[in-house]
Amino acid sequence: MTVPFSKLKKEMLKNPAVKKAYDDMAEEFEIAAALIEARARAGLSQGELAKRMGTTQSAIARIESGKHWPSKKTLEGYAKATGLRPTIRFVRAG
């Protein structure tokens, strides 16, 4: 029997330590989601995007994982390869 991800996530987030760790990574998850969305809208696989950027599919997977902050140069290359341009905006915290 498999458990739907949404149910597993809900259960795991009941643990205060897990919830704190998850909340602490919110910005990384947001960036990863934006990158994946940009690639999907461009209709590219990770491999196709990698070729456009002159890198490997595994490097794209790492960029999209949300486990580390991509550099400004990487974001610019990613954006160009997907036909976009990166922007920075500030929003109210909280």
pLDDT of res. 69: 85
* Separation CA 21–CA 23 (nearest Å): 6
93 has a pLDDT exceeding 90: no
Q: Percentage of the chain with pLDDT > 70?
A: 99
Contact 20, 61 (CB under 8 A): no
Tell me whether residue 37 is in a domain: yes
For residue 93, give the CATH number of its domain: 1.10.260.40
When pLDDT is cut at 50, 70 and 90, the band that residue 14 belongs to is very high
User: Per-residue pLDDT tens for 38-74?
Assistant: 999 999 999 999 999 999 999 999 999 988 889 999 9
* Domain count across the chain: 1
**What's the pTM?**
0.78
Provide the domain limits for residue 91: 23-94
Tell me whether residue 14 is in a domain: no
Q: Percentage of the chain with pLDDT > 90?
A: 70
* Separation CA 29–CA 52 (nearest Å): 24
